[in-house]
Amino acid sequence: MEKDGRRSQEELNFERFIAERFADGEHDSEGQFTVDLRKASDKVAAFALPSDSHYLLKVVQVAHRFRTEEIRVDIGRFRTTLEFHPVVGQEFEMERLYTALADPLGTEDPLLVDLVAALYGTLKTDLQEATWEHQLGVQGQRLVVDRSRRVHCERYECELSEEPDRARLLFSVTHANPWMFWKGARHRAESAAVLRQFCRHSAAKIVLDGTDLVIASASEINSHVQRLAYEPAELTSSINFTEPASNILFELAGEDDPALGISRPSLSAYLVRREVMNVWAQGMRVNNTLRPDGQSSAAWMLQFRRDGENISMRWARKRDRYSAVLGLNFKNAGSKEPPRFTIVRSGITVVERAIRDPELEEVFRGCHLLIADETLKTDLSGFQYVEDEDFRQRLLSYAPLVEEARAYYQVGGEMMNIPEKEKLTFDI
């Protein structure tokens, strides 16, 4: 080892290296070193992901924790990359990642937990090498994990970007080149399918192989409530249509708050009354239309809230960041349905189902609640919630939204000609 502290590329004990750096008051490696991760096999098992492609979801979660607005994903034959830019001023310390790799189970920072899980998750793939890069200005740092589970770290210089004050983060996986090409094609298709399935509520825009990933539509909120277009006696076969919700409440997220994404309905069939009341207008889309269709017009009313106040739909963007979305079925066919919950953790849909719990059913009966979360307890993979008392209390904390949505619906109902069938009073 040289006197100036420069490390040679001989194999080092990673824990000892970190301890020495902390003892010397230094955290930067000016040279290069490699680390043997074979002794960490038990730690790798603890972070086991459901499939070979789930490491992509962990990187998407990392990007959401950086509050990025766009993630570019390219799934190629030999290389898969995910690139994004954190918000200006948000920093990343590569040295903390070194420590987290050495002791992932002792890491408390959720961002590092997700990033370490992504790196470990690549070890299940046909890995040639996985790389995590951080660039700012003309300086860059790179961490590489090869197929032998050895880590290589280095600094490098790069070209100055058009936005020198904005960092660039890149996660890439170079795949092995098997002669059975159809296996590679299947793996690429599975990776794309995983992103499409679990990133439908991403708050960040995801560009997959040059095409925008389609996010969930507000019409899906009530997709579990179906109605017949005609009475069964009138036709030998009938078609099911989604029942429009009574009201959909969109709670806009703050700049630094966890958020989910959902495509709001088209506003062309709605009118603004009393400045903040957004109500469906009969006959706006089709003459003599008596009710919303449940698709392009997903509800009788749309309620947008920012900082605890209702706002007009004139200020609602087609795609915005929401901390919570509530679909309310107040006096229609869905008002007796058990409550459904969708929980989006850092851009990834983790829960999307009905939850049977007496107290939750009493409060949220007939509702579909979507929330953004980054704090609830999960298993080590991050894809399974621990449904304990804290989990229940967190869901119950959204009970005031139900009262807000009901009060809004009752006021808005006075402004519309709602058919008598919708005015049936259920004991809810």
**pLDDT band at residue 36, thresholds of 50, 70 and 90?**
low
Say if residue 396's pLDDT is above 90.
yes
Q: Which two tokens stand for residue 198?
A: 């679990």
CATH code for the structural domain at 11-212:
3.30.565
Q: Report d(CA 65, CA 372) in Å as an integer.
A: 12
Model confidence over 107-121: pLDDT tens digits? 889 999 999 999 988
**Top-ranked range on mean pLDDT: pick from 98-112, 149-163, 288-302, 381-395:** 381-395
Q: Residue 80: name the closest of 48, 53, 112, 46 by CA.
A: 53
Q: Where are the domains of the chain?
A: 11-212, 218-423
**Using one digit for the tens of pLDDT, what is the confidence trace for 311-348?**
999 888 888 999 999 999 987 878 888 999 999 999 99
Residue 136, both tokens: 């700012």
CA atoms within 13 A on the CB side of 423: 8
Chain segment 363-393, per-residue pLDDT in tens? 999 999 999 999 999 987 889 899 999 999 9
